[in-house]
Amino acid sequence: MLYISEWLPNPDGTDHGAEWIEIGNNGNAPASLAGWSLSNGTSKHMALPSESIPANGVLLLPQSAFHFALRNKDESVFLYDPSGALAGESHFFGVAPSGKSVNFGEGGSFFAVPTPGAANATTGVALIPSHYPQTGIISFSLSGAGVFGLAIGSALILALCVTIAIIHYDDLRELFFPKHQEVR
């Protein structure tokens, strides 16, 4: 099965022409790239060269082979099989560290020292998990206002739960709202 093995979105120095994408073949037989294509979501599908990748091997594609620039921030790369179906994808959010590549490993993707044409690094800065094929990613972030809203909402839910418990259980109700007896 072909997959996106590694890619360099933010090379040291100039990005022009220095970016690359590595396609891996984790199958036990050679695999042809004929009919396969790449996209970064903002470009059209770019046909890959009709080269073959050896069994359990990789093929390094210079930027001239895929004809689009990789963004240094919030970038994705998509791999499509000859039928046009999504076969794999790789993403990062935030800014890519200069000179670090996005490596695919057993636990997902991570930034590490580039290893073009060789086995990927085994550790690095963790990104989000990548699985092939991947159907999508759900992500969210909380701004300062979002954190404040989350704290207020949590406090209100907690207050509601305590109120329900007090009303429902006589011992708690007696603890918080004791009955007063008239003294004569």
Claim to verify: residue 50 and residue 87 sit in the same structural domain: yes
Report the CATH number that the domain containing residue 106 is assigned in CATH: 2.60.40
Which pTM was predicted?
0.66
**Residue at 110 is within a domain:** yes
**Residue at 58 is within a domain:** yes
Q: Cα separation of 155 and 135, whole Å?
A: 35
133 preceded by a cis bond (ω within 30 of 0): yes
Claim to verify: residue 50 and residue 16 sit in the same structural domain: yes
Helix (H) and strand (E) counts in the chain: 3, 12
Number of domains in the chain: 2
Boundaries of domain holding 155: 144-176
**For residue 10, which of 133, 138, 125 has the smallest C-alpha distance?**
125
Across the chain, which has 184 residues, the per-10-residue mean pLDDT values are 93 83 94 95 87 94 89 93 94 91 82 87 56 39 55 79 72 68 58
Claim to verify: residue 32 and residue 107 sit in the same structural domain: yes
CB atoms within 10 A of CB 18: 13
Claim to verify: residue 86 and residue 166 sit in the same structural domain: no
**Residue at 171 is within a domain:** yes
pLDDT at residue 149, as a whole number: 67
Claim to verify: residue 14 and residue 78 sit in the same structural domain: yes
Claim to verify: residue 76 and residue 104 sit in the same structural domain: yes
**Residue at 19 is within a domain:** yes
Place of tokens 């007063």: 180
pLDDT at residue 153, as a whole number: 75
Claim to verify: residue 39 and residue 7 sit in the same structural domain: yes
With beta carbons less than 8 A apart as the criterion, state whether 29 and 85 touch: no
